[in-house]
Amino acid sequence: MKLFYTLVLFLSFFGLTSCIEIIDDISLKNDGSGTLKYTINLSSSKVKINSILALDSLDGKKVPSIPEMEERIASFKKKLSAKTGISNVTIESNFTDYIFKLQCDFTNVLALQNALKDVIEEESKEKNIPELDHNWLSWDGSKMTRSIPEITVKKTKDLKTEDIELMKQGNYTSITRFERPVEKFDNTAAVLSKNKMAVMIKTNPYALTQNSNILENIIYLSPIKN
C-alpha cells in the first residue's frame, strides 16, 4: 500500500517531500483476525524536516509544529481505538529521528478497512472522498487479496522534481504473514519466506506512484489440517 494515507495524514507534508522508508506488515490468523503494523521512517531526511519546521509556511501551506502533529497523532489514535473491531492501538512517535510506528489488532480485514476509512474522513478536511470506495484487502478463509488504496495516488500527482528523486531513494516493504503455509501467489515480484508462511514485496514509493499494480497480490493458502 503506497504511502498508506492513514498514519501519513498528518505526516504527508513531510512524507511526500522526504526520503521515506515504509514497512507495511499484516499478520492474519486463520479466523481472519490479525494485527497491522505500519512504520514510517524519515530519519534520513531529518535535517531537511528540521529546516522545514523552522518555517512558518512552505509553498503557501502552514507548516505544522511538533505539538500540532502530536495532537493529530493523539486524535488519530483515539478515533481509531473507538472503531468497531479495532483494539490495542499503539502509536510510537520519535520526533528526534522522525520514526513513527502504528500497531493495532483487528477482528477481520473488513473491520480494519472500515475503521481506517472512517478515521481518514474524520481527520481530513475533504468529505465524501471517492477514492475511499475502493477496498484494498479481502479474505475468504483461504485466499488473501491485497491492493493499493486509491487515495494515495491523489496525493502524489503534484510532486516536484526534487521530491521525485527523494521518493526514488526510499523503500516500501509490504509483508503479509499467515498461520499456515502459502501455496502460491500471483505477483511475480513477491518473495516467499523460508517457512512458507509469509510473503514480501519490496519497491520504492515513486515506483508506486507510477504503477499502482506493483503491490497488488492474491495469496492462496494451503487447506487447514484437521
The predicted pLDDT at position 208 comes to 74
The alpha carbon dihedral of 71, 76, 79, 80 has a sign of negative
The predicted pLDDT at position 20 comes to 81
The alpha carbon dihedral of 208, 210, 212, 216 has a sign of negative
Q: In what order do the strands lie in the sheet with 143-146?
A: 137-139, 143-146, 217-221, 182-185
Percentage of the chain surpassing pLDDT 70?
79
CB 25 within 8 A of CB 199: no
Given a cut of 50, is residue 198 above it in pLDDT?
yes
List the one residue out of 206, 177, 190 whose CA is nearest residue 2: 206
More confident residue, 64 or 1: 64
More confident residue, 53 or 130: 53
Report d(CA 21, CA 172) in Å as an integer: 6
Q: In this predicted model, what pLDDT tens digit does every residue of 54-69 receive, in sequence order?
A: 888 877 778 888 898 8
* pLDDT band of 92, cuts 50, 70, 90: very high
DSSP letters, 62-109, are: EPPPHHHHHHHHHHHHHHHHTSTTEEEEEEEEETTTTEEEEEEEESSH
Given a cut of 50, is residue 183 above it in pLDDT?
yes
Q: In this predicted model, what pLDDT tens digit does every residue of 130-160 receive, in sequence order?
A: 666 677 899 999 999 988 655 444 455 555 6
CB 100 within 8 A of CB 92: yes
Report d(CA 134, CA 83) in Å as an integer: 19
Determine which of 8-22, 66-80, 107-121 has the lowest per-residue pLDDT on average: 8-22
Percentage of the chain surpassing pLDDT 90?
43
The predicted pLDDT at position 4 comes to 43
Q: Tell me the pTM.
A: 0.86
Q: What are 50's three cell numbers? A: 528540521
Phi and psi angles of residue 211, each rounded to the nearest 5 degrees, phi first: -145, 100
More confident residue, 37 or 47: 37
Using the 8-state DSSP alphabet, how is residue 18 labeled?
Answer: S
Mutual orientation of helices 66-81 and 109-123 as an angle, nearest 10°? 140
More confident residue, 18 or 91: 91
Report d(CA 210, CA 207) in Å as an integer: 5
Per-domain residue ranges for the chain? 7-221
Residue-averaged pLDDT of the chain: 83
